[in-house]
């Protein structure tokens, strides 16, 4: 091992010495190309020795190209070594922030997009290279002042930059920092709880970022939209997850005053606890953003609709109780997506609805069942007004939702329709939707004698619906009747009609 270390050191020393004395593209490139050829254990042993000249030159040089190459070399270093100290992680993150943040630390500076992209990628790599013990220290309230500037920078980049790849990777790096990326180990329950306790403090900024991106025109690149939905669903699912919560603050404890210095505001923020009251208030605030994000269900790109399916499924599975006010919207979204034209979209959506239907049959699904039934009743109340409108899309969506809610509750449909208000609303809706078009019928028209061979009317349907004026709507109406015939108590339905 000593011989190996000596050989590695002999290879590193000339390059590192040249880099300290005179930074240039050739020297930086030599070090960057040398690192992959060395054993990872040896690189770990000499990590500080390699990192030192890179850090020094990042502080000294003003050449943007040199900075970019130095940051890329730092990324290469941690592709082959691990970070074993939270102090090291935050020191490097602070150094990287200095390359792209203005001196007053309130905005991203006007440097090259390539440099910003290299910084974002390096931060991502630093987090993924950190040992579990390091992340345990990072995800603590004490580390919040060091973590929040990194998140702030990434949020600003994701919102304001023009380069598509830069925005996408900033959103993906936020996933890593919040410990909800597919690249991190989510099996560690304690780690997840620690991340939850810190990320909740940054939830307003992250959700505002998601809302801002969602409000942009549909002409933006779909990769940004997909990454945005992923961030929203994952972070909200982490913070608002059902389960354990912090006990309420003891009454009589003084609430710290608002305002004050920056230090006082940070201290006040760190006192926030994930209590029932906090979750209830946060869920209410998230409702508006949720409605904006769910508009993606009609996005033109199928990958966006697929990602929305995954996000909504995740939120229903993790936080249906803490986000009870949005559960109806989530179910509506899944039902609409289950009628998508693309198999890649409607397949997962229908699978999620099938799992949800099974869950509603269990005793553990009672709270969720109540929310679904409440959303169903609201739909029945609004349906006649929607069908009287002129928006074809809204009418078709309304019919799809009607079918979807009935299928979702097939095992409990007799019980649901045993409720007078439910049955009355459903029948009123069906009678209204199936109303025939009679405007073309005249009381003075002579219908007794008709020339069959010359009368074109006989080749047309003898009946036309007033509101179901397309084949798609008629099929939806037939689906509703089919579900009722197969799963409902027909005696109850017929008795109510008579």
**What tens-digit pLDDT sequence spans the chain (498 residues)?**
577 788 989 999 999 999 999 899 999 999 999 999 999 999 999 999 999 999 999 999 999 999 999 999 999 999 999 999 999 999 999 999 999 998 888 889 999 999 999 999 999 999 999 999 999 999 999 999 999 999 999 999 999 999 999 999 999 999 999 999 988 777 788 999 999 999 999 999 999 999 999 998 878 899 999 999 999 999 999 999 988 666 554 443 444 444 556 666 667 777 788 899 999 999 999 999 999 999 999 899 999 999 999 999 999 999 989 998 899 899 999 999 998 889 999 999 999 999 988 888 775 557 788 888 888 899 989 888 888 887 888 888 888 899 898 888 888 888 888 888 888 888 888 888 887 776 766 665 555 555 555 555 545 555 677 767 777 888 888 888 898 888 888 888 888 877
The CA-based dihedral angle spanning residues 276, 278, 279, 282, taken in that order and rounded to the nearest 10 degrees:
160
Residue 118 structure tokens: 């290299």
* Cβ proximity of 50 and 77 under 8 Å: yes
- Predicted confidence at residue 257, as pLDDT, reads 44
Residue 32 structure tokens: 């960057």
Residues 6+ apart with CB under 8 A from 298: 336, 393
- Predicted confidence at residue 1, as pLDDT, reads 55
Reference 174, options 98, 216, 236; nearest CA is: 236
**What is the C-alpha separation between 74 and 71, in angstroms, rounded?**
5
- State whether residue 130 is helix, strand or coil: strand
- Predicted confidence at residue 253, as pLDDT, reads 40
- What does pTM read for this prediction? 0.87
**What is the C-alpha separation between 228 and 234, in angstroms, rounded?**
10
C-alpha dihedral sign at 427, 432, 438, 440: negative
Cα angle 219, 225, 228 (rounded to 5 degrees) comes to 150
- Predicted confidence at residue 449, as pLDDT, reads 52
Residue 436's DSSP bridge partners are 465
DSSP H helices, 161-275, are 164-177, 189-214, 222-239, 262-270
Q: Which long-range contacts (CB under 8 A, 24 or more apart) does 259-267 make?
A: 266/144, 266/145
Residues 6+ apart with CB under 8 A from 453: none
- Predicted confidence at residue 476, as pLDDT, reads 86
**What is the C-alpha separation between 374 and 380, in angstroms, rounded?**
10
Residue 198 structure tokens: 């810190």
How large is the C-alpha radius of gyration of the chain?
A: 30
For tokens 């509703």, what's the residue? 480
End-to-end CA distance of the chain: 91
Would you list the domain boundaries of the chain?
A: 364-438+456-498
- Predicted confidence at residue 42, as pLDDT, reads 92
- Predicted confidence at residue 251, as pLDDT, reads 42
Phi, psi (rounded to 5 degrees) for 44: -60, -40
- Predicted confidence at residue 151, as pLDDT, reads 96
Residues 6+ apart with CB under 8 A from 288: 211
* Cβ proximity of 130 and 139 under 8 Å: no
* Cβ proximity of 311 and 235 under 8 Å: no
For tokens 């997506």, what's the residue? 337
Reference 119, options 108, 129, 131, 106; nearest CA is: 108
Residue 422's CB is within 10 A of a number of other CB atoms, namely 17
Reference 282, options 215, 196, 216; nearest CA is: 196
**What is the C-alpha separation between 12 and 30, in angstroms, rounded?**
10
243: left (phi over 0), alpha (psi -120 to 50) or beta: left
Residue 465's DSSP bridge partners are 436
* Cβ proximity of 309 and 345 under 8 Å: yes
Instruction: Describe the chain by its helix, strand, coil percentages, rounded to 5.
Output: 75, 0, 25
Residue 498 structure tokens: 């008579």
Reference 429, options 452, 403, 451; nearest CA is: 403
**What is the C-alpha separation between 324 and 283, in angstroms, rounded?**
8
């Amino acid at each position: 091992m000593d011989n190996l270390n000596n050989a590695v050191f002999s290879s590193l020393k000339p390059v590192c010495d040249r880099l300290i004395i005179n930074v240039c593209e050739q020297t930086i490139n030599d070090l960057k190309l040398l690192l992959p050829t060395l054993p990872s254990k040896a690189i770990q042993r000499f990590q500080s020795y390699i990192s030192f000249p890179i850090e020094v030159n990042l502080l000294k040089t003003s050449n943007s190209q040199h900075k970019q190459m130095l940051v890329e070399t730092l990324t290469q270093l941690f592709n082959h070594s691990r970070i074993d100290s939270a102090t090291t992680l935050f020191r490097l993150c602070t150094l990287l922030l200095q390359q792209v943040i203005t001196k007053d630390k309130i905005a991203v500076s006007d440097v090259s997009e390539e440099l910003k992209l290299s910084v974002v990628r390096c931060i991502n790599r630093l987090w993924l290279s950190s040992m579990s013990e390091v992340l345990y220290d990072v995800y603590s309230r004490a580390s919040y002042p060091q973590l929040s500037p990194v998140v702030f920078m990434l949020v600003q980049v994701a919102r304001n930059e023009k380069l598509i790849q830069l925005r996408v990777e900033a959103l993906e790096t936020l996933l890593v920092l919040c410990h909800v990326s597919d690249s991190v180990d989510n099996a560690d329950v304690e780690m997840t709880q620690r991340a939850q306790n810190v990320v909740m403090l940054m939830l307003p900024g992250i959700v505002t970022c998601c809302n801002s991106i969602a409000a942009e025109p549909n002409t933006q690149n779909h990769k940004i939209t997909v990454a945005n939905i992923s961030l929203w669903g994952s972070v909200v699912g982490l913070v608002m997850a059902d389960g354990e919560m912090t006990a309420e603050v003891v009454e009589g404890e003084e609430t710290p005053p608002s305002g004050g210095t920056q230090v006082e505001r940070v201290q006040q923020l760190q006192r926030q606890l994930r209590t029932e009251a906090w979750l209830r208030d946060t869920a209410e605030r998230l409702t508006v953003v949720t409605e904006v994000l769910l508009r993606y269900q009609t996005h033109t790109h199928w990958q966006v609709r697929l990602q929305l399916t995954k996000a909504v499924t995740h939120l229903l599975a993790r936080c249906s109780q803490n986000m009870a006010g949005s559960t109806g919207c989530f179910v509506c979204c899944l039902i609409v997506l289950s009628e998508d034209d693309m198999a890649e979209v409607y397949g997962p959506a229908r699978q999620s609805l099938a799992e949800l239907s099974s869950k509603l049959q269990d005793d553990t699904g009672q709270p969720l069942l109540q929310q679904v039934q409440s959303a169903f009743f609201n739909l029945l109340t609004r349906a006649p007004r929607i069908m009287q409108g002129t928006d074809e899309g809204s009418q078709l969506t309304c019919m799809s939702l009607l079918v979807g809610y009935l299928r979702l509750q097939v095992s409990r449909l007799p019980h649901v329709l045993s409720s007078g208000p439910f049955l009355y609303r459903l029948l009123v809706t069906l009678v209204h939707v199936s109303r025939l078009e009679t405007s073309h019928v005249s009381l003075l028209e002579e219908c007794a004698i008709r020339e069959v061979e010359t009368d074109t009317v006989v080749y047309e349907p003898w009946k036309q619906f007033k509101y179901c004026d397309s084949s798609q709507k008629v099929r939806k109406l037939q689906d509703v009747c089919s579900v009722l015939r197969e799963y409902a108590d027909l005696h109850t339905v017929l008795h109510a009609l008579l």
